[in-house]
Amino acid sequence: MSEGELDRMALAVLQPGFEGTEPPAWLRRALAEGLGGVVLFARNVAGLEGTAALAAELRRERPDVIVAVDEEGGSVTRLEAAGGSSWPGNMALGVAGDEELTRRVARQIGRMVAAAGATLDYAPVVDVNADPRNPVIGVRSFGSDPEEVGRHGAAWIEGLQSAGVAACAKHFPGHGDTVTDSHLALPAVRASREVIERRDLPPFRAAIAAGVRAVMCGHLLVPAVDALPATLSRTVLTGLLREELGFEGLVVTDAIEMRAVAALHPPGEIAVRALAAGADAICVGVSSARGESVYALRDAITGAVREGRLAEERLAGAAGRVRDLAAWYDAQAEARKAVARDADEGLGLAAATAALRATPAESPGPLTRAPLVVHMAARPSQAVGRATPLTLGEALGEVLPGTVTTQIYDDGRLPDLRDTGRPLVIAVHDAVRHAWMRRLLEEALRARPDAIVVETGVPGPPAGRVYLTTHGASTASARAAARWLAGAV
C-alpha cells in the first residue's frame, strides 16, 4: 500500500470535533485528504438550517463524510442546546412504559437530526441504571430493569433509523453500575461475569437484533471480562461484541480526550490501541485550532502500521465499516424525505406528561398563586454540556406569571421561606446522589412543611406534602410538570 493510501485510510477512521459554525480551513483540507467523519457539538450549531448548511459544506469537500451528533433528547442535546430538548429523555420514556411512544419520540428526534444533515446519532444510551448514585448515566437510562431497557432501546433505535439516520447504542459493555464519571476518571464495573451477562448485555443484544448501525464502547474497566479498559480491550470489542454478540456494524469510541483513558496514554496511542482492539472510528471531541492534533493521530496510526503494531488489514476493515455506514445513509434518502413531512405536533409534551408520577397520586389541587421556586441542582456534567433547558420556575412563570425562582448550588443557602402567603415549590435534581441537597431539602421542609417537592432526576424516597417526579430535566418535562402543578393536566 502506498504512503498516500495509508494516510487516507488512517484519516478515514477519525471523527474529530472542531470550533465554529463553518468548517475551518484545516478541516476542509483534511476532508479532501480522506477524513472519514466529524462530530458536531453545541458550539457548531446555529439552528437546524444553519447546521444543515454546515453539513452541506462538509459534504462538498467529501460527499460520504459521516456527520455525527450526540442527540439523546432529555438532558443531552446538541441541536437544541440553546433552549433545552423538546423531548423527554430515556428514563421518562421508560417510566411512561409505552414502546410505541418511545418509537414515535425517537422518530421525531431522527426527523430533527436528519433536518440538521447528520448521518449518525450517538444515541441511545442502553446502559442499565443499576446504581442510582451513578453520576453520568441516571435519567439518560431507560431504567434499572434490563428487559425494559432492551425493549425501549430497540424501539428507540427503530424509530430513529426509520427517519434515515443511523443510531449508536452506548456505552458497551454497560456504564450503569459505576459511581465514577468517565469524563473525569476511569470507572470500574466490579460485577461478576454472570451479573454482566444477565444485567448489562441484554439491552445490547436487543439493540443488535433491532438492527442498530453503530455501537459506542465506554471507557470502562470491567475486571470480570478483561484487565484493560473496554475501549482498549480486544477481549471486549472483538471477543465479546463481535464474536459473542455477533455485531457487524460500526464500533466507535467515546471521546478519547476523556480522562478515563487520556490519563493512561497519549491520544495517538489510545487511537492505535482502540483500533487494534476492534474499534472502527475514533471520536475526538476537541481538536487543535489548526488541526495539528488530527494529523498527529493520523501519523500515529500510520506509524503503528509500519511498525507492525497495528495490522494493515485491521485498519482497512475499520475504514471499510466507515464507508459502509456512509453507504447506508445514502440509501436512506427516501426515508429522510418521508420523515420531513411527518411532524408529530404536541408529542414531546404528551410523552413528558405520561412520565409524571406523584405521591400521593391525587393532586391536592392546582396552584392558584404564583409560587416561589427554590431550584437545587449540581453543576451539569460534561456529558450534558451547556444545554440550557427551561427550568421548572420558568415553566411555571409561563402559566403563573409572577413566579419567582432562586437557584442554589452546593455552596448556597436557602432564601427566606417565612412568607407563607406564597406557595413554595422545591425542585431538586438527583437528590439521592447529593448529601448537601438532601440536607437543604430537609431544612426547607422543616420551615415549610406545605412545600411541594419536584424531583427532575432519579427519584428517591418521597418528600414533602406532594412529591412529583418528572424523570428528566428537559424543557418538555419542565412544561409538563408546570402544567400538572397549575392544574392544566
Q: Tell the residue number behind the cell numbers 424543557, with chain if given.
A: 475
Residue positions counted in the chain: 489
* DSSP code at position 453: E
| 467 Cβ contact partners less than 8 Å away, ≥ 6 residues apart | 358, 359, 453, 455
Burial class (CB in 10 A: 0-12, 13-18, 19+), 402: exposed
Q: Is 171 left (phi over 0), alpha (psi -120 to 50) or beta?
A: beta
Q: Which three cell numbers stand for residue 233?
A: 480491550
| Residues labelled catalytic | 183, 254
First vs last Cα of the chain: how many Å apart? 65
Distance, CA of 250 to CA of 213 (rounded, Å): 6
Tell me the torsion sign for CA atoms 370, 376, 379, 383.
negative
Distance CA 334, CA 210 (A): 20
- Positive or negative torsion for Cα 423, 429, 431, 432: positive
- Return phi, psi of residue 240, to 5°: -85, -55
Structural contact between residues 463 and 424, judged by C-beta atoms closer than 8 angstroms = no
